[in-house]
Amino acid sequence: MGVSCHFYRMEVVLLWFRADLRVQDHPALYRACQLGLPVLPVFILEDRWRSRSEAGVSRLGPFRAHFLARSLEALQGQLAQLGLPLLIRQGEAVAQLSRLLDELPVAAIYAHTEPAWEEQQQEKALKQLLDARGIALDLSDGNSLYNVEDMPYTAGQVPELFTHFRKKIEPSTLVRSPLPVPSFVLAPEQIPAGCPLPDAQVLCAEYVPERHIPEQTGGEPAALAWLQEYIWERQAVATYKDTRNGLMGTHFSSRLSEWLALGCLSPRYVYDQVRRYEHERQKNESTYWLQIELLWRDYFRLMARKHGRHLFGADGLSRVPIAWKADPLAFRQWCQGLTGYPLVDAAMRQLMQTGWMSNRARQVTGSFLTKNLQVDWRWGAQWFEYWLTDYAPSSNYGNWNYVAGVGNDGSGFRFFHPVKQGETYDPQGLFVKHFLPELEALPPAWVHRPWELPGNLQRTLGFAPGTRYPAPVVDILESAREAEVAYKKGLVDGNHKKSYSRIRKFVK
C-alpha cells in the first residue's frame, strides 16, 4: 500500500512496532526511512494484555513477559546502532498513538498489519483517526511469508482448506526476498517523554517468579544466532520431517516459534535461509516440510483475517454449535497435569515449567480437553495464551479450532488417544518421567498406563496407582464416544454434513 500525501512541514514519521521486534527484513522500517523524514519508533505496552480471561488468568503470562522484555531491550540496542530511539508508552494503543499526534508534527504512521480481530479493529480505528486529521497510514505485510497483494486471491477469497490454499499459492506466488537494514536513517530532534524499558513484572498482571525465564532468549540477535545454528551448523533442517514429532530435546523441531511470534525474525528470512541451504548443501523432503509449516502459519493468519471474531467463538470457523461443558474441576485437573494420563499431564506440566510444548503434545492435550473432558476449547486456548512464550492469536486460536473440531479442515472428529500417542512418540517414557518424576520407577510397558501395573510389580516398585499419581479421571474411549455424540449433534444443529468416526479404530 503506498502513501500518496504531501508533507508541508519537517515532520516525523511514527513507526509503530507491534509483533515485529527486529530491524532486518522490516518493510515498515525500510519504507518509513525511504521518505527521508525523521523516524520515531514507538512501542505500546497494551492494557488489554493485563485483562483477565475466563480461564482465570491474564492474557500475557510470565514466560512471554520475560521474552518480550528481553526482545524490547534488544530492539532498543539495535535501533540505537541506527541512531534511533525507542519510545515506549503504556495504555490503549490507538489512544496512545492519538496522544502522540497532539505532541508531535506527525506526517504518517508506518506499521505492519496484524490479522487477528482485535488488531484489525485497532487498524480500523487508527485509520479513521488519521483520515480525520489528513495523516497517512501505511500498513504493510511484514510478518508473513506471502504478501496479500501478490496472492492469486483477495484476503476474503482465500480457500478454506489448507490443501487448496497450498496448491494454488505455491506454483503461482513468489515469496519476496528479505529486505536489508536501511542504510539511511534520520532521527527525530524532539523525543516525547515515555516509559522506561519494562521488565517482566511490569508486563504481566500476575506475580512473576524468577524460575519463569524461557529457554530461548528474546530479541533478533538471539534469533539469528539460533537460526544459524539450527540450519547451518547442526543442519537439523535436513532431518526435520523425521524428527518433528519428537517430545524431548532441543533440535527435533526448529524452535523458531517464539521469535516468529514476536517478529524477532521474519518468516521470509527463515524461508530464504532454508532455500539457500537447499541450494548450497542439500534439498530433501525435510527442507521442504519446514517451508510447509511456515505456510501453515500464513494460512492461519489469513483465516484469522477472513473470519474475524468467529475464530474466537465457541462454534469456531465452521460454526458447529457443540454443547461444551463448563466444568471448572475437570479444567483445573487438565491445567495442573492431574488427569491420570501421563502424556497429557507431562505436557501440561512442561507448559507451566518452560512456557513451551511440542506440536504433538499440543494436539494431544487439546484433544484430551475437548474430546475427553468436553470442556469449552476456548478455556484451553486462553490457558495456552497465558503460558506459551510463542503465543500468536491466529496460530493459537486457529489450531485450537482444528483440535476442537470447529475449524475448517473437514476431517471430522479428530481424536488423539493419549496412551497410543505416548507409546508411539515416547516409547521409553523419557518425556513423561522428566516432567512426572513420580513415575520414575515404572518400566516402559506401564509408564503410559500406570493403572494397569500388576499387583506384584506394584509391591516391588513401591508404586500404588491412584496414590502419588492420580488414577485416570475419565475412561478414554467412553468419554470420547460421548464427545462424539455431542459433536454429531452439533453438526446436525448447525446443518452440517455427517463426519466419519476416528474412534472406531481404537475399539477392539
Ligand X SMILES: Cc1cc2nc3c(=O)[nH]c(=O)nc-3n(C[C@H](O)[C@H](O)[C@H](O)COP(=O)(O)OP(=O)(O)OC[C@H]3O[C@@H](n4cnc5c(N)ncnc54)[C@H](O)[C@@H]3O)c2cc1C
Residues that bind ligand X (CB under 6 A): 244, 253-257, 260-261, 290, 293-294, 296-297, 300, 358-359, 362-363, 366, 384, 388, 390-392, 395-396, 399-400, 403
Q: Which is nearer to ligand X, 76 or 395 (CB)?
A: 395
Contacting residues for 97 by C-beta, under 8 A, at least 6 apart: 14, 16, 42, 44, 109, 126, 129
Q: Which is nearer to ligand X, 43 or 400 (CB)?
A: 400
CA distances to 26, 193, 342, 349, 448 from 468, rounded to whole Å, are 52, 55, 13, 16, 15
- Smallest gap from Cβ 388 to ligand X, in A, equals 5
CA distances to 37, 161, 187 from 97, rounded to whole Å, are 18, 37, 18
- Smallest gap from Cβ 428 to ligand X, in A, equals 22
Q: Which is nearer to ligand X, 35 or 270 (CB)?
A: 270
- Smallest gap from Cβ 480 to ligand X, in A, equals 17
- Smallest gap from Cβ 116 to ligand X, in A, equals 11
> Dihedral sign, CA of 460, 461, 464, 468?
positive
CA distances to 161, 198, 215, 217, 348 from 222, rounded to whole Å, are 35, 19, 12, 6, 27
Burial of 67 per CB tally in 10 Å (0-12, 13-18, 19+): buried
Hey, is 39 helix, strand or coil? strand
- Smallest gap from Cβ 322 to ligand X, in A, equals 16
Contacting residues for 100 by C-beta, under 8 A, at least 6 apart: 14, 42, 89, 106, 192
- Smallest gap from Cβ 310 to ligand X, in A, equals 17
Calpha distance 10→29 (Å, rounded): 19
Q: Which is nearer to ligand X, 258 or 484 (CB)?
A: 258
What strands lie across the sheet with 136-140, from one edge to the other?
87-91, 39-46, 12-17, 106-112, 136-140
CA distances to 15, 187, 389 from 81, rounded to whole Å, are 17, 11, 27
Hey, is 103 helix, strand or coil? helix
Q: Which is nearer to ligand X, 333 or 367 (CB)?
A: 367
Q: Are the C-beta atoms of residues 356 and 214 closer than 8 Å to each other?
A: yes
Q: Which is nearer to ligand X, 391 or 413 (CB)?
A: 391
Q: Which is nearer to ligand X, 290 or 480 (CB)?
A: 290
Q: Which is nearer to ligand X, 110 or 259 (CB)?
A: 259
- Name which of 406, 390, 410 is nearest 398 in CA terms: 406
- Smallest gap from Cβ 402 to ligand X, in A, equals 7
| Cα angle: 164, vertex 166, 169; to 5 degrees | 105
Q: Which is nearer to ligand X, 386 or 469 (CB)?
A: 386
- Smallest gap from Cβ 94 to ligand X, in A, equals 24
CA distances to 233, 272, 287, 295 from 279, rounded to whole Å, are 16, 11, 11, 20
- Smallest gap from Cβ 241 to ligand X, in A, equals 10
Contacting residues for 422 by C-beta, under 8 A, at least 6 apart: 342, 343, 429, 432, 447, 448
- Name which of 85, 96, 72, 79 is nearest 24 in CA terms: 79
- Name which of 301, 51, 325, 36 is nearest 151 in CA terms: 301
Q: Which is nearer to ligand X, 127 or 241 (CB)?
A: 241
Helices (H), 82-158: 93-103, 117-133
Q: Which is nearer to ligand X, 138 or 385 (CB)?
A: 385
- Smallest gap from Cβ 491 to ligand X, in A, equals 21
Q: Which is nearer to ligand X, 362 or 433 (CB)?
A: 362
- Smallest gap from Cβ 410 to ligand X, in A, equals 16
Cell of 190: 524532539
Contacting residues for 6 by C-beta, under 8 A, at least 6 apart: none
- Smallest gap from Cβ 15 to ligand X, in A, equals 24
